[in-house]
Structure 1
Amino acid sequence: MIAAERVAGAPISWGVCEVPGWGHQMAPERVLAEMRDLGLAATEFGPDGFLPADPAERARLLESYGLRPVGGFVPLVLHDPARDPLHELSRVLDGFGGPGATVVLAAATGLDGYDRRPDLDAAAWRTLLGNLGRAAVHAAGRGHRAVLHPHVGTVVERGDEVDRVLDGTDVPLCLDTGHLLIGGVDPLALARAAAGRIAHVHLKDVDAELAGRVRDGRIAYTDAVREGIYRPLGRGDIDVPGIVGALESAGYRGWYVMEQDTVLTAEPPPGAGPCDDVAASITFLRGGAT
């Protein structure tokens, strides 16, 4: 379905997350080795502290595992006029190293985690859109491309909020198939309608029943992740082949990042754990049985 050289990993598939108290955090040496052994071509960087802060040391570490750098997820508060997001963005980009990375921005709430979020008024939306544009220009000036990631528990989650970003800026999107569905957006419809605005892809499959429970407030997002809302590709309710086909037909030639967010309670046994789900997803992407 997709050439292996365009399929990347993400540390969150191994439970490595920026949210305080998320769960057991695996060491980078094991995560990177399992990515390599699964045949992934590259990886996103993961949260602060997972990889070395020094860009040269970071590059050497990834190269030692045969992995190319993709870029990374950068949550920023964009809607608060009292906070300038460029200071934090500059600090993060100092670790990205050479040009060509993707800066996957999320419009953070300023709260810990992704279980609560405010609704913004018109003034806050103006600030958000303005700061998003500034962040994209700043990233471009450092040689990187910024995309906006609609994400559960941020201030850009629902369909109307995605539309405001598309209508109010020229910043491209990260199409995260799982977060979009949980937020009430059909990722296949968005891939067809806005293919020209999609510059990065996070592939997830999702249990639609659990997603509905998150949407209507019957379960918190983090609890839903613990219960397995994210499934190996082909074992959930998202039309992954349809989405990939729509993007490829429209000329998308970027990365497909494997992401099945997970919460770990302890270190998995050697040769088992999250890598099993990632392996099943890779098999599905390569057209094999799941």
Structure 2
Amino acid sequence: MTAVAARVAGAPISWGVCEVPGWGRQLDPATVLEQMREVGLTATELGPTGFLPDAPSDKAATLATYGLAAVAQFAPVVLHDPAVDPVPQVEKVIDGLIACGATTLVLAAATGVDGYELRPTLDDAGWATLLGNLDRLADRAAERGVVATLHPHVGTLVESGDDTDRVLAGSRIGLTLDTGHLLIGGGDPVRVAVEHPDRITHVHLKDVSLALARRVQAGELGYRDAVEQGLYVPLGDGDVDLAAIVKSLQAQGYSGWYVLEQDRVLGAAGAEGSGGVGAGGADAEPGEDVRRSVAHLLSLVDGPASGTGEAAP
């Protein structure tokens, strides 16, 4: 197993499991975790609250049943409101991470409203509160042996390249580089990877259809609808310059996880797929898309992969 292959993880969102109410059909943990193992994954992020059991020890036991290690959890938290203390919510997430042996807390600057369709514009006071909370949470996590990161995410208060630059300049927290969300939000994931390798502590590898991303940016298409239509595709099938990003990170000594994420919306059981871009649309077999993404990632660093499927052309 190569050094990179040992640092590839999955995420439940690739199987349509999402924290947003009404997102789509939610598969049960047994189905998702079993398919992760079937495609050769050995590690995963924990998924949204409610996907795995609430009790930290039960989370760990569930993953152990499927032979999967835990690497991180995505936690959308309100950070900009001085009346909201994010620490109690984050402490519960850290409890679960520690119980499972995971080391990374992936924060997103939630708006306080369900979904990722609309977001307010922060004033300077809101930004000051957000940045202060990021440092406070980073310190709190470090005290417990966990690394906190900030994830620029569509429909949150840190979405664009400018937002990301403001976080990098105004706080000490590390960054989760999500190659898809940053591009959709109008940022440049290649630039961030090249210019800020010292701040990148976690990576979500995504590929996206730029044509659909531009429609989201222009306000012509809602984010969820775009995902359902195939906004995210297997690695190598879209328009993100993954080769430049991965090669830059490797050259700069990045040693963290590469979490493969192909966000998707699943329709009702038995329904036909939506015909989105990629390997069969929204209801294409998630495991096969993940298998293809693993093969493509390994081809970027090791040449053509064998035994994991064919890399996308």
State the TM-score, normalizing by the size of structure 2: 0.89
How many angstroms does 1:38 deviate by?
A: 0.8
Structure 2 residue 275 is matched with structure 1 residue 273? no
Contact kept? 2:39, 2:288, Cα under 8 Å: no
Which runs of structure 2 are paired with 1:152-231 in the superposition (5 Å)?
152-231=154-233
How many angstroms does 1:178 deviate by?
A: 0.1
Supply the RMSD in Å over aligned alpha carbons: 1.5
Stretches of structure 1 that go unaligned for 5 or more consecutive residues are none
Task: Select between 115-124 and 33-42 the one with higher mean Cα deviation.
Answer: 33-42
Secondary structure in structure 2 of the residue aligned to 1:29: helix
> Residues of 2 paired with 1:15 and 1:25: CA distance?
6
1:106 to 105, 108, 119: 108
One-letter amino acid matched to 2:104: T
State the partner residue of 1:30: 31
Structure 2 residue 286 is matched with structure 1 residue 284? no
Structure 2 residue 5 is matched with structure 1 residue 4? yes
Contact kept? 2:212, 2:226, Cα under 8 Å: yes
Superimposed CA distance per residue, residues 168-199 of structure 1 (whole angstroms, 9 cap, x where no aligned partner): 01101000000000011111111001111000
How many angstroms does 1:92 deviate by?
A: 2.2
One-letter amino acid matched to 1:169: S
> Residues of 2 paired with 1:267 and 1:4: CA distance?
33
Which runs of structure 2 are paired with 1:5-84 in the superposition (5 Å)?
5-84=6-85
Contact kept? 2:210, 2:239, Cα under 8 Å: yes
How many angstroms does 1:91 deviate by?
A: 2.2
Contact kept? 1:4, 1:40, Cα under 8 Å: no
How many angstroms does 1:6 deviate by?
A: 0.4
How many angstroms does 1:2 deviate by?
A: 6.2
Superimposed CA distance per residue, residues 139-178 of structure 1 (whole angstroms, 9 cap, x where no aligned partner): 1122211000000000000111111100001101000000
* Total equivalences in the alignment: 288
Stretches of structure 2 that go unaligned for 5 or more consecutive residues are 272-283, 305-310
Bigger RCO (CA 8 Å, 6+ sep): 1
One-letter amino acid matched to 1:279: R
Superimposed CA distance per residue, residues 70-120 of structure 1 (whole angstroms, 9 cap, x where no aligned partner): 020000000001101101111222222346520000000001100000000
> Residues of 2 paired with 1:244 and 1:171: CA distance?
21
Secondary structure in structure 2 of the residue aligned to 1:95: helix
> Residues of 1 paired with 2:186 and 2:55: CA distance?
39
